[in-house]
């Protein structure tokens, strides 16, 4: 594979942009706060992006999800990079792939709690392109001017990891000359109360892989990256997508396969595609939700597949589990270690689950990494693993 990541940025409770995210990671500062969503009395912690509250000028595209996507796209140099590629190749030769698990359900939720007197939708809420699973890509095509093929992937929590995989295929087969990939998901009552009904939410800040972990915290985020064939890149980051793995074990709607068969397959596929042995991986950003089952299964797989020299951590205690945006948020954290030499720790990890035996650090580590991996495992057994490397 010769796919280069030429630009990227992230927006979450840990920071509105990559520079702020780096500061939060360096200072070991979480963005989680006590649940403050209007209409919700659930005792839990959330990762809320307050800056999205102020974006109310999207007209027919208005939704919190689209507002957060717009906010994320304005960070760093993403707009300039995308515009330059459209000027070079033409808007029809740029692809767009978004990942989301809820799209703009926040807007639909509001619409049905504020109906007109006749029981129908009020004019402001008659938004067929917003009440739509494809809404993230429809909106981003409108916002960016991209005219090439567009796709919205919804495979739950692996959604915006899989955007990298589809982008790589499009580039390898010459479908497009560059791809803007992204992910966005936002908090709303449907999401928060839905996870509460599954008895997955913690009343405490989450503690991935800790013996005393008691559930997850939800968050919201948007993130974007621009991918291009390496030989055509002139302003890249020096980071390439080395390999990827995908699987779907379809064991259960919300519970992972007890032996982690699909998760194992996605990791081994990524290593094979990247022509790398397990001991070549310097750091793994774990899916690490802080649920009892997910952490135990993933941690056992890491212990089985990788040597003790491989560092690993979960970063969800910084911004929460951002669902359909988790894949790209954690991909950006992972690949950015190749720029900063900072391996983030597993915040709130005090006592490793006694059933696990692998190298996971509570504190940040400084190390020059060559090859890094990130896991994203979603409901329904949808799994994705990405490998990033420094260019030789």
**Cα 5 → chain centroid:** 16
142 is catalytic: no
51 Rama sector, left if φ>0, alpha if ψ -120 to 50, beta otherwise: alpha
Mark the ranges of the chain whose per-residue pLDDT is less than 50.
none
Is 257 an active-site residue?
Answer: no
Q: What is the pLDDT of residues 229-274, one digit of tens each?
A: 987 766 678 999 999 999 988 776 666 777 778 899 999 999 999 9
Owner of token pair 């094979």: 272
Indicate if 369 belongs to the active site.
no
- The C-alpha angle with vertex 319 and arms to 210 and 266, in degrees rounded to 5, equals 70
Find out whether 308 and 1 touch, Cβ atoms under 8 Å.
no
Q: Is 178 helix (H, G, I), strand (E, B) or coil?
A: strand
Nearest-angstrom CA–CA distance, 116 and 135: 24
Q: What are the distances in angstroms from CA 158 to CA 141, 183, 331, 382?
A: 22, 10, 11, 6
pLDDT of residue 27: 96
> What is the phi-psi region of residue 347: left when phi exceeds 0, alpha when psi lies from -120 to 50, beta otherwise?
beta
DSSP 257: -
Cα separation of 383 and 347, whole Å? 24
d(C-alpha 8, C-alpha 225), whole Å: 4
Domains of the chain: 3-390 (3.40.47.10)
Q: Please, are residues 75 and 17 in contact by the beta-carbon 8 Å criterion?
A: yes
Q: What is the mean pLDDT of the chain?
A: 95
* Cβ atoms 239, 390 nearer than 8 A: yes
**Per the residue annotation, which of 11, 287, 371, 384 is the catalytic one?**
287
Q: What is the pLDDT of residues 216-241, one digit of tens each?
A: 999 999 999 999 998 776 667 899 99
**Residues making up the chain, counted from first to last:** 392
Rounded Cα–Cα distance for residues 133 and 322 (Å): 17
Candidate list 321, 369, 371, 384, residue with the active-site label? 321
375, 298 Cβ separation under 8 angstroms:
yes
pLDDT at 250: 78
Task: Kindly name the residue from 157, 206, 369, 384 that is annotated as catalytic.
Answer: 157
Torsion angles phi and psi, residue 342, rounded to 5: -105, 120
Q: Name the residue among 287, 281, 288, 327 with its Cα closest to residue 305.
A: 281
């Amino acid at each position: 594979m010769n796919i280069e990541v030429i630009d990227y940025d992230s927006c979450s409770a840990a920071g509105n942009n990559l520079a702020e995210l780096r500061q939060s990671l360096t200072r070991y500062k979480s963005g989680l706060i006590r649940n403050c969503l209007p209409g919700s009395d659930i005792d839990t912690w959330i990762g809320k992006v307050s800056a999205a509250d102020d974006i109310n000028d999207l007209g027919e595209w208005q939704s919190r999800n689209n507002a957060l996507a717009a906010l994320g796209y304005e960070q760093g140099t993403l707009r300039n990079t995308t515009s330059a590629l459209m000027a070079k190749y033409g808007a029809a030769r740029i692809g767009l792939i978004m990942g989301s698990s809820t799209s703009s359900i926040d807007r639909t939720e509001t619409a049905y709690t504020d109906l007109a007197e006749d029981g129908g939708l009020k004019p402001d809420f008659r938004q067929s392109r917003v009440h739509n699973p494809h809404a993230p890509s429809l909106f981003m095509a409108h916002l960016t001017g991209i005219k090439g093929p567009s796709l919205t992937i919804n495979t739950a929590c692996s959604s915006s990891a899989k955007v990298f995989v589809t982008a790589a295929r499009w580039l390898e087969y010459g479908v497009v000359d560059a791809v803007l990939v992204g992910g966005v998901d936002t908090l709303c009552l449907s999401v928060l109360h839905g996870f509460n009904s599954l008895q997955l939410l913690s009343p405490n800040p989450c503690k991935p892989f800790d013996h005393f972990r008691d559930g997850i915290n939800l968050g919201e985020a948007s993130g974007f990256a621009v991918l291009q064939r390496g030989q055509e890149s002139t302003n890249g980051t020096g980071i390439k997508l080395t390999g990827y793995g995908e699987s779907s074990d379809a064991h259960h709607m919300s519970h992972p396969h007890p032996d982690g068969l699909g998760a194992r397959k996605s990791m081994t596929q990524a290593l094979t595609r990247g022509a790398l042995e397990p001991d070549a991986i310097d750091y793994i950003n774990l899916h690490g939700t802080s649920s009892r089952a997910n952490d135990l299964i993933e941690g056992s797989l890491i212990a089985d597949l990788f040597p003790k020299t491989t560092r690993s951590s979960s970063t969800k205690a910084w911004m929460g589990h951002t669902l359909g945006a988790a894949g790209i948020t954690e991909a950006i954290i992972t690949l950015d270690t190749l720029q900063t030499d900072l391996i983030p720790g597993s915040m709130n990890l005090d006592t490793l689950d006694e059933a696990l035996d692998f190298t996971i650090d509570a504190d940040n580590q400084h190390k020059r990494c060559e090859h890094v991996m990130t896991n994203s495992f979603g409901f329904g057994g949808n799994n994705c693993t990405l490998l990033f490397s420094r260019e030789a």
